[in-house]
Amino acid sequence: MAESNLRQTAQSVIPDDPEASAYRFIIVAAKRARQLQNGARSVLPSTSKKPTIAAMEEVRRGLVPYEDTAIGKTVEAAPES
Protein backbone atom coordinates (compact mmCIF):
# COMPACT_ATOMS: atom_id res chain seq x y z
CA MET A 1 0.00 0.00 0.00
CA ALA A 2 2.84 2.42 0.77
CA GLU A 3 4.36 1.62 -2.63
CA SER A 4 1.10 2.64 -4.31
CA ASN A 5 1.16 6.02 -2.53
CA LEU A 6 4.79 6.52 -3.56
CA ARG A 7 3.96 5.90 -7.21
CA GLN A 8 1.06 8.34 -7.13
CA THR A 9 3.25 10.97 -5.49
CA ALA A 10 6.06 10.48 -8.00
CA GLN A 11 3.67 10.70 -10.93
CA SER A 12 2.24 13.98 -9.66
CA VAL A 13 5.73 15.43 -9.11
CA ILE A 14 7.52 14.40 -12.30
CA PRO A 15 6.12 16.14 -15.39
CA ASP A 16 4.57 13.93 -18.05
CA ASP A 17 6.36 15.34 -21.08
CA PRO A 18 7.00 13.03 -24.05
CA GLU A 19 10.14 14.97 -25.06
CA ALA A 20 11.66 14.98 -21.58
CA SER A 21 12.41 12.02 -19.39
CA ALA A 22 11.87 11.53 -15.69
CA TYR A 23 15.61 10.86 -15.42
CA ARG A 24 16.44 14.26 -16.97
CA PHE A 25 13.97 16.00 -14.66
CA ILE A 26 15.56 14.42 -11.60
CA ILE A 27 19.13 15.26 -12.68
CA VAL A 28 18.31 18.90 -13.53
CA ALA A 29 16.31 19.34 -10.30
CA ALA A 30 19.12 17.81 -8.23
CA LYS A 31 21.71 20.13 -9.77
CA ARG A 32 19.43 23.14 -9.21
CA ALA A 33 18.84 22.08 -5.59
CA ARG A 34 22.61 21.97 -5.07
CA GLN A 35 22.86 25.52 -6.45
CA LEU A 36 20.13 26.68 -4.06
CA GLN A 37 21.87 24.99 -1.12
CA ASN A 38 25.07 26.82 -2.04
CA GLY A 39 23.38 30.22 -1.88
CA ALA A 40 21.77 30.80 -5.30
CA ARG A 41 18.49 32.69 -5.20
CA SER A 42 15.29 30.96 -6.19
CA VAL A 43 13.45 32.48 -9.14
CA LEU A 44 10.13 31.68 -7.46
CA PRO A 45 8.78 32.93 -4.17
CA SER A 46 8.47 29.79 -2.08
CA THR A 47 6.84 28.88 1.17
CA SER A 48 9.10 25.84 1.44
CA LYS A 49 12.47 26.09 3.12
CA LYS A 50 13.64 22.93 1.35
CA PRO A 51 15.83 23.57 -1.69
CA THR A 52 14.74 20.30 -3.30
CA ILE A 53 11.08 21.37 -3.34
CA ALA A 54 11.94 24.79 -4.77
CA ALA A 55 14.22 23.23 -7.38
CA MET A 56 11.59 20.73 -8.53
CA GLU A 57 9.01 23.49 -8.91
CA GLU A 58 11.43 25.66 -10.91
CA VAL A 59 12.29 22.78 -13.24
CA ARG A 60 8.64 21.73 -13.56
CA ARG A 61 7.73 25.27 -14.67
CA GLY A 62 10.59 25.39 -17.15
CA LEU A 63 12.48 28.16 -15.38
CA VAL A 64 15.85 26.39 -15.27
CA PRO A 65 17.90 26.32 -18.48
CA TYR A 66 20.00 23.22 -19.07
CA GLU A 67 22.06 21.67 -21.84
CA ASP A 68 20.92 18.37 -23.36
CA THR A 69 24.25 16.79 -24.26
CA ALA A 70 22.58 13.94 -26.15
CA ILE A 71 21.43 16.34 -28.86
CA GLY A 72 23.92 19.14 -28.18
CA LYS A 73 21.22 21.72 -27.55
CA THR A 74 20.65 24.16 -24.70
CA VAL A 75 17.10 24.18 -23.39
CA GLU A 76 16.29 27.74 -22.41
CA ALA A 77 14.14 28.84 -19.50
CA ALA A 78 10.47 29.39 -20.28
CA PRO A 79 9.49 32.98 -21.06
CA GLU A 80 7.88 34.92 -18.23
CA SER A 81 4.09 35.24 -18.51
For the segment 24-50, what is each residue's pLDDT rounded down to a tens digit?
A: 888 999 999 999 999 999 888 877 788
Assess contact for 2 and 40: CB atoms under 8 A: no
The pLDDT assigned to 35 comes to 95
Q: Between vectors from CA 20 to CA 38 and to CA 61, what angle results, nearest 5°?
A: 55
Model confidence, pTM: 0.67
Q: Whole-number mean pLDDT of the chain?
A: 75
Q: What is the CATH code of the structural domain delimited by 2-75?
A: 3.90.940
| Alpha-helix runs per DSSP H in the chain | 2-13, 22-37, 51-60
The pLDDT assigned to 9 comes to 46
